[in-house]
Amino acid sequence: MQLGQVIGSVVSTRKDERMRGHKLLIVAPLVANNGELVPKDTGSLVSADLVDAGRGDIVLIVGGSTAKTAIADPNVPIDACIIGIVDSVDL
């Protein structure tokens, strides 16, 4: 999993019908550096939100085929999901 911070959202009206109902958030991955979380230099990704996350929240992201496990529907074409909101990290 990756840590990330929610920094925005995506509006898409012309999309695969199976994605309807999934909120798509823009997340900036974070990595630990000298005891702090800092943005990862690979840049942001788009994740379906499964835990009602909000802007600014630190979240847990899963990717690849595990995103379909998270959604619990193998027919939804989504490859990244927010599966948890982080209360704190101990570094």
Residues in touch with its own copies (CB under 8 A): 1-3, 7-16, 19, 24, 26, 28, 31-33, 40, 42-47, 50-52, 60, 62-70, 72, 74-81, 83-91
Cβ–Cβ under 8 Å, residues 91 and 83: no
CB of 36 to its own copies, least distance (A): 11
Cβ closest to its own copies, residue 21 vs residue 64: 64
Rounded-to-integer distance, Cα 5 and Cα 89, Å:
13
CB of 34 to its own copies, least distance (A): 10
- Least Cα distance to 79 among 91, 58, 56, 62 occurs for 62
